[in-house]
Structure 1
Amino acid sequence: MGFRKVPFRDLLSSIVDNRGKTCPTSEKGIPLIATNCIRNDFLFPVHEKVRYVSYETHKTWFRGHPEPNDLVFVTKGTPGKVCMAPDPVRFCIAQDMVSLRIDREKVYPRFLFALLRSERVQKVIEQLHVGSLIPHFKKGDFDKLILEIPTNRTLQIFIGDFYYYVSYLIEVIRRINKTLEEIARAIFKHWFIDFEFPNENGEPYKSSGGEMIDSPLGPIPKGWRIGRIEDVCEFSYGKALKADKRIQGRIPVYGSNGQIGWHNERLVSGPGIIVGRKGNPGLIHWSEEDFFPIDTTFYVVPRVGKSIMHFLYFALKHADLPRLSADSAVPGLNRNIAYMQQLVIPTEQLLRDFENRISIIFDLLQTNSWQNQSLSELRDSLLPKLMSGEIRVPVSEKEVDQF
């Protein structure tokens, strides 16, 4: 298999760079994607903690905007992180990143995307970082990144499409899981916030005339009670685990912002709930399997058995624990303050009914998650072998004309 070595910059037809300055934002409008939204485990940029720009700012302030199939590439903070721009593009990009338009005459765009995502190229980019405190990879230094491009165009297309379509399948399964959790959350709200759980006749309780009683939190169904978080669960402290120990094994490791790696030992038997303690205090995460929560988190221990875990998961989300975090250099969640938060506690029978229904959804969520993990491992293990020619692809040496 033949290769040609090409500077990264020579593979680009244009670069959209928006000045490296902070643009004016507004309360609503068009989402403004920042560097935290560009993750190498997602095909497209995610919308996390996004700000917005007005339509006028979108039209007049920026030098340009990403187009479908452009690469959104981070240049500062986490240089080298890259996602594809979806079709249509419904966002604009903030500072510390650029939108790269690929020269299709020189390389198949999806192949370049896969190549930039490869472990080998990511390590090269890391070595090219400039700046000790905040790493950055200036667009003026793109010529320093020399990439090996297969001379066989058909091979480029095979590898690029392989990486893209497996990544797209992973993305679709993620969206299915997001919808499933939204359905479960809607059922929780319908039953325990709106009090429209099915009565003995299968009718919605409140709207069909179910008896309500007064409580400190307003009217609640008869037989229910008001309690505090500490009445139903305990927040136990996670355990310190060095970063170099979070890169191997099969047990998921959780920090305050979600899963951050893998370990070979468990600390908690699943299913379980993780609550952010420091860094991202109050964020709630679910693990169906055994897990290891690190010391920036709490893990939830129910006081009445694991049969209420799904109820606790949504009840804690509804409690909006992030608002209780201390305003300091490193925001933290005070366990005692969290314990004092009141919540409505339904009857044991209704809790069992809810768990029976919701567990079906969560079983499907877990099956999908395992499938995505297998797909990710397959994609990431095959990519370097395809790139190096270790796995030979039966393609014609004749170049194809359509990209």
Structure 2
Amino acid sequence: MKAGWSLKTLGQVCQLISGQHIKAKDYNTEVKGIGYLTGPSDFGPLNPIISKWTEKPKIKAKCGDILITVKGSGVGKINLLDQDEVAISRQLMAVRVTGADPLFIYAFLCSTFDHFQTVSTGAAIPGISREQVLGLQIAIPPLPEQQRIVGILDKAFEGIATAKAKAEKNLQNTRALFESHLQSVFTQRGQAWIDKRLQDVCVLQRGFDLPTRSRLPGKFPLVSSSGIIDTHNEGPIKGPGVTTGRSGSIGSVFYIEEDYWPLNTALYVKEFHGNDPKFV
């Protein structure tokens, strides 16, 4: 080890804040309250992208915190929070740096994905513990050296930010193109097309209650009015399936490939009457 450097655990230079689950009825997509991050699906190349909000936050992360995924297939994925504060789910923890340059710790954690993937446990839903994060060893140089290293990495971060902006623009263009094509499909109909009411095409059924305390680790998606929010050990509805929000995110539509559990904030298609689920 270089002179002046010291070997420490992450727990000696950081605090670790564990997230908590928020019920589907307590978050929204209408920008009411503060942002709510549920997992790595909300992560961007560098910073998270907020798509859900809540007026009933439980655990908050602050600007500058490093978010690390501690549950699910994305264990070890990280992002740097650039919002004033957000609520975080149980799939995430916030690393709050107290004894080093935060960007130096962020750069270090960027290199630990493979390590956490290896040490994660759980057959259905892999996970890592607080102890595994806090006990991670890191070589810490003096603060000026940390800042010099971060300065070198700043250029790389700028490149990531540029790529992020381009990716978001491309996504917007792709969505606009898809919506335009979808509109043309249903307005320029063929001669064999006929008009039917939705109730003649499929049967919608209310989803099932499943309190948080009753949810068990498993591979089957739990689908709320805002999409997949968790998994469970049972999937009573055979895939592929279609759901739509009946409360909360009303009208949001989701296509589910595998067997799943629709929650009571959603309606699911019980019967397709021989129609293609993707078309419906």
- Shorter-normalised TM range: 0.5 to 0.7
Distance 2:181 2:133 in 1: 55
Matched, 1:43 2:34: no
TM-score (norm 1): 0.41
Length, aligned pairs only: 204
1:140 pairs, out of 123, 127, 131, with: 131
Deviation by residue 1:300-349 (Cα, 9 ceiling, x = unmatched)? xxxxxxxxxxxxxxxxxxxxxx76x4675179xx9x938979xxxxxxxx
Matches within 5 A, 1:76-87: 76-77=71-72, 78-87=74-83
Would the aligned equivalents of 1:110 and 1:164 in 2 still touch at CA under 8 Å?
no
Would the aligned equivalents of 2:104 and 2:149 in 1 still touch at CA under 8 Å?
yes
Matched, 1:110 2:110: no
Deviation by residue 1:98-138 (Cα, 9 ceiling, x = unmatched)? 212101xx3211011011111xx333333432434322222
Matched, 1:6 2:8: yes
- SS of 1:45's equivalent in the other structure is coil
Taking structure 1 as reference, are residues 173 and 80 closer, same or farther at Cα in structure 2, changes over 3 Å only?
closer
Distance 1:69 1:182 in 2: 27
Taking structure 1 as reference, are residues 86 and 188 closer, same or farther at Cα in structure 2, changes over 3 Å only?
same
1:95 pairs, out of 90, 96, 101, with: 90
Deviation by residue 1:59-106 (Cα, 9 ceiling, x = unmatched)? xxx24x2211111122222332211110444x3211121212101xx3
Distance 2:278 2:96 in 1: 52
Write 1 or 2 for the structure with the bigger share of helix: 1
Match of 1:52 in 2: 53
Would the aligned equivalents of 2:241 and 2:277 in 1 still touch at CA under 8 Å?
no
Match of 1:239 in 2: none
Deviation by residue 1:198-230 (Cα, 9 ceiling, x = unmatched)? xxxxxxxxxxxxxxxxxx84xxxxxxx5349xx
Taking structure 1 as reference, are residues 184 and 22 closer, same or farther at Cα in structure 2, changes over 3 Å only?
closer
Matches within 5 A, 1:1-400: 1-2=2-3, 3-12=5-14, 14-18=15-19, 20-23=20-23, 25-27=26-28, 28=30, 29=32, 30-37=34-41, 39=43, 42-47=45-50, 50-53=51-54, 55=55, 57-58=56-57, 62-63=58-59, 65-77=60-72, 78-89=74-85, 91-103=86-98, 106-118=99-111, 121-149=112-140, 151-179=141-169, 182=172, 217=187, 226-227=189-190, 325=255, 328-329=258-259, 337=276
- SS of 1:166's equivalent in the other structure is helix
Structure 2: gaps of 5 or more residues: 192-238, 243-252, 262-271
Taking structure 1 as reference, are residues 177 and 72 closer, same or farther at Cα in structure 2, changes over 3 Å only?
closer
- SS of 1:66's equivalent in the other structure is strand
Distance 1:21 1:15 in 2: 17
Distance 2:7 2:110 in 1: 17
- Determine which structure has more spread, i.e. the larger CA radius of gyration: 1
- The alpha-carbon deviation at position 155 of structure 1 amounts to 2.8
Taking structure 1 as reference, are residues 37 and 159 closer, same or farther at Cα in structure 2, changes over 3 Å only?
farther
Percent identical among aligned pairs is: 14
TM-score (norm 2): 0.57
Q: Give the counterpart letter for 2:48 in structure 1.
A: P
- SS of 2:164's equivalent in the other structure is helix
> CA RMSD of the aligned region, Å?
4.0
Distance 1:329 1:191 in 2: 29
- SS of 2:47's equivalent in the other structure is coil
Write 1 or 2 for the structure with the bigger share of strand: 2
Would the aligned equivalents of 2:241 and 2:256 in 1 still touch at CA under 8 Å?
no
Would the aligned equivalents of 2:9 and 2:135 in 1 still touch at CA under 8 Å?
yes
Distance 2:165 2:120 in 1: 34
Q: Give the counterpart letter for 2:276 in structure 1.
A: I
Taking structure 1 as reference, are residues 26 and 193 closer, same or farther at Cα in structure 2, changes over 3 Å only?
same
Deviation by residue 1:22-64 (Cα, 9 ceiling, x = unmatched)? 445233423321113365x7111234xx4432x2x13xxx24x
